Chain A
Amino acid sequence: MSFINYSSREINCKIVYYGPGLCGKTTNLQYIYEKTNPTAKGKLISLATETDRTLFFDFLPLDLGTVRGFKTRFHLYTVPGQVFYDASRKLILKGVDGVVFVADSQEARGDANVESIQNLVANLQEHGFDLKSIPYVLQLNKRDLPTAMPLDDMLKALRFKDEPYYEAVALKGIGVFDTLKACAKQVLLELSKR
């Protein structure tokens, strides 16, 4: 649910990073924050526990410049990945315009990825969204780890429509901006259809 302000000529969109615990959602935001021009970003807010696990959400406002005379601002959110924070996760999906699913490539996290996508589908449904039609990008993170599963296996398990996917190493920034760009693009194209 984007917010268009004709008076100040601004458009605000919301992108949510979803995925199982410790898959690298916050790391994605941190990298974007580090690499973005200070004038184009707001503060990165992390509501985290003492051990840096996301408790409620991370939030990063990002100005992407102007499209057709409208200032384009994206609000990036992450959800807490741990299974028992489901109530909080649901809240953050409210009014979402686009979703990035960050999958953990380690073999041991295979089931957690699948479970988290199923959880995403169910939580989106509660807000009246369908993952099949909402702007959506799949990021396969931690590709540099020796325990990473083969690409084909991951795609078979996780890709369920022809959504764009990116192999990433979020800690080093590989694939981070490609993922964001692909999602932002779909969100803006979706806006142009309405």
Chain B
Amino acid sequence: MGASDLILYEEEFQKIKEIISKLRVDANANVVFLVDKNGQQIAATGDIESLDTTSLASLTAGNVAATDGLAKLIGEREFSVLFHEGEKDNIHISIVGGKVILVVIFDERSSLGLVRLRVKRSSEDLNRVFKQILEKTEREKASGKAAFESPFAEITDEDIDALFKD
């Protein structure tokens, strides 16, 4: 396998949730969520009941990937911030630590300036947490034994067949 898997533990997950919840309040935003660059949603907070967050995650990642491609074509490493302005709602997308995508959805109760400012601060905090996650995963890999039992270590054919029963 090319890249290592992203493994999220309870402790770091809580930290991430705290950071994005704080960001949502500080930036006066409706929704804040985190996606990895492959389109998997990591965490979300705010008014998400009315949102299809899975699709949002996948399209955001596609958007970032396409923009990355554009950046490379003109000789840039990446465009670290994308902003989409709508009539009512706006989307602010930024890349944290080159690995994860931070998305903030906000309306007229906030402003682009405020969002940018708060995102910058939260990005540093998030960056730290993701570094910890990476170190933790590396450490466990180096020690040759994971601190957790992989849930799939003893998966059987029957388990898999059961998934497709109906």
Contacts and interface: CB of A to CB of B under 8 A. Distances in A.
Interface in A64-98: 64-65, 67-70, 72, 75, 87-88, 90-92, 94-95
B8 A6 contact: yes
User: Taking chain A's interface residues, is the majority helix, strand, or loop, or is none over half, making it mixed?
Assistant: mixed
A3 B69 contact: no
B66 A192 contact: no
A172 interface: no
A90 B62 CA distance: 11
Interface residues of A, number: 49
Given A1-B3, A2-B5, A181-B164, A69 B151 contact: yes
A6 B9 contact: yes
A151 interface: no
Contacts of B155: 67-68, 188-189, 191-192
B162 A6 contact: no
A150 interface: no
Nearest to A126: B2
Nearest to A74: B163
Contacts of A90: 69
B1 A129 contact: yes
Nearest to B14: A7
Contacts of A59: 39, 55, 58-59, 62
Interface in A174-193: 177, 181, 184-185, 188-192
B160 interface: yes
Interface in B149-165: 150-155, 157, 159-160, 162-164
A94 B9 contact: no
B6 A4 contact: yes
Given A192-B153, A192-B155, A3 B163 contact: no
Contacts of B6: 1, 3-4
Nearest to A47: B62
Given A67-B163, A75-B39, A5 B153 contact: no
Nearest to B153: A192
A191 B2 CA distance: 14
Contact of B66 (A7, A8, A56, A191): A56
B91 to A, nearest CB: 16
B97 to A, nearest CB: 16
Contacts of B148: 6
8 contacts: A3-B42, A12-B40, A67-B159, A68-B151, A72-B163, A88-B66, A95-B37, A192-B154
Interface of B: 1-10, 13-14, 36-40, 42, 52, 54-55, 58-59, 62, 65-66, 68-69, 148, 150-155, 157, 159-160, 162-164, 166
